[in-house]
Amino acid sequence: MLQLIQDIVYNVTGKQGITYETDFVQDLALNSFDVMNIISAFEDHFDTTIPTREVWHLHQVKDVIDYLAHKGFTQP
Amino acid sequence: MEADCTPVTIFRHPFQEGGDGSHTLLVQAAQRYSGLDPGAFGELRTGPWGKPFFPQVPGLHFSLTHSGEWWLCAFADRPLGLDLQIHRSHADPARLSRRFFHPLEDAWLARGQYRDFFDLWCAKESWVKFTGRGFFDDPADFSVVDCQGRFPVQAGLQLRLLPFAPGYSLCLCARQIGAVAWQEF
């Protein structure tokens, strides 16, 4: 799953070097528009809709991995 | 009437990843705006939805934004929201508009071939920064385009698109926007 997040973030923002502890705002300096684009890319990948209000408390990469696992999304 | 308007000062600083942190820039700008000593600000806290504030200086209202090569912070003595967004060429405005915007907004953008996409984005974001709720409210649940196709609008508030560098959109939101001053630092 980490590789998928790395790929999506790179494709959307051009940012690299992401680890489990990477903080999207503090470390990558992403803003809300970047986050929306990333959400959209995840939705495309998993063919689903992710409620935006559920994602704003996901600060680090590991939070996203936990969220996706909780929702039952696994990498095909 | 003029007394009801909110004078706004916007500080701008080149933004570089790995450079001065946003918190450092905020304190520097807040010092310049308020004239207070650095120690007067105390701890920076965030509200329940992430809006930052200085509990020790309750009358100091500010809104931070960064995008592309710029960091901005607007200050006033009343609540306000500011959003800057660089026009990203790889973004698919039609797709994002359908997914995240209100149907009135999506229809309005489609009529203009989505050329105002980033202006509309900034208007929406400046409003959620004003409220302090961020996008914890679904962005498709409110519109900054009204039924007559007027943009930007929000009941009881002013949304003002401000000129900035080419390739950027910038919007300020407050109850009554007065004079806007700029400061570089």
In chain A, which residues have their Cβ closer than 8 Å to the Cβ of B83?
32
- According to DSSP, the residues that pair with A59 across neighbouring strands are none
pLDDT value for B22: 79
Instruction: Please say whether the dihedral angle defined by the alpha carbons of residues A16, A20, A22 and A28, taken in this order, is positive or negative.
Output: positive
Q: Closest partner residue to A33 among B49, B85, B134, by Cβ?
A: B85
Q: Closest partner residue to A53 among B67, B85, B138, by Cβ?
A: B138
In chain B, which residues have their Cβ closer than 8 Å to the Cβ of A33?
67, 85, 88, 91, 121, 125
Residue spans of chain A under pLDDT 70: 75-76
Element holding B142 (H helix, E strand)? none
Would you call B33 helix, strand, or coil by DSSP?
Answer: helix
Say whether A31 and B95 touch across the interface (CB within 8 A).
no
DSSP B39: G
pLDDT value for B19: 59
In this structure, which amino acid lies at residue B167? G
CB neighbour list of residue B72: distance below 8 Å, 6 or more residues apart: B10, B11, B12, B13, B64, B65, B66, B82, B84, B170
In chain A, which residues have their Cβ closer than 8 Å to the Cβ of B137?
53
Say whether B125 and A32 touch across the interface (CB within 8 A).
yes
Residue-level pLDDT, tens digit, chain B, 185 residues = 456 888 999 999 998 766 567 788 999 999 999 999 988 999 999 888 888 999 999 999 999 999 999 999 999 999 999 999 999 877 789 999 999 999 999 999 999 999 999 999 999 999 999 998 877 778 899 999 999 999 999 999 999 999 999 999 999 999 999 999 999 98
Q: Closest partner residue to A36 among B50, B66, B100, by Cβ?
A: B100
> CA B160, CA B7: separation in Å to the nearest integer?
13
Closest C-alpha among B9, B57, B54 to residue B184: B9
- Give the minimum alpha-carbon distance from A39 to chain B in angstroms, rounded to a whole number: 10
pLDDT value for B18: 62
From the number of C-beta atoms within 10 Å of its C-beta (0-12, 13-18, 19+), residue B11 rates as buried
DSSP A10-70: HHHH------TT-BTTTTT---HHHHHHHHHHHHHHHTS---GGGTTT--BHHHHHHHHHH
Instruction: Locate the chain B residue with the closest alpha carbon to A52.
Output: B138
pLDDT value for A76: 58
Q: Is B35 left (phi over 0), alpha (psi -120 to 50) or beta?
A: left
Q: Look up tokens 């003595």; give the residue.
A: B77
The helix, strand and coil proportions of chain B, stated in percent and rounded to the nearest 5, come to 30, 30, 40
Q: Look up tokens 């930007």; give the residue.
A: B152
Structure tokens at B105: 């907004």
Element holding B32 (H helix, E strand)? helix B22-34
> CA A30, CA A67: separation in Å to the nearest integer?
19
pLDDT value for B173: 97
Residues on chain B bordering chain A, Cβ-to-Cβ distance under 8 angstroms: 15, 17, 49-50, 65-67, 83, 85, 88, 90-91, 95-96, 99-100, 121, 125, 134-139
Q: Are A53 and A66 in contact (CB under 8 A)?
A: no
Instruction: Locate the chain B residue with the closest alpha carbon to A54.
Output: B136
Q: Are B85 and B169 in contact (CB under 8 A)?
A: yes
Q: Does the predicted TM-score (pTM) go above 0.80? A: yes
**Percent of chain A predicted with pLDDT > 70:** 97
- Give the minimum alpha-carbon distance from B136 to chain A in angstroms, rounded to a whole number: 4
Q: Closest partner residue to B66 among A29, A36, A52, by Cβ?
A: A29
> CA B129, CA B50: separation in Å to the nearest integer?
10
In chain A, which residues have their Cβ closer than 8 Å to the Cβ of B72?
none
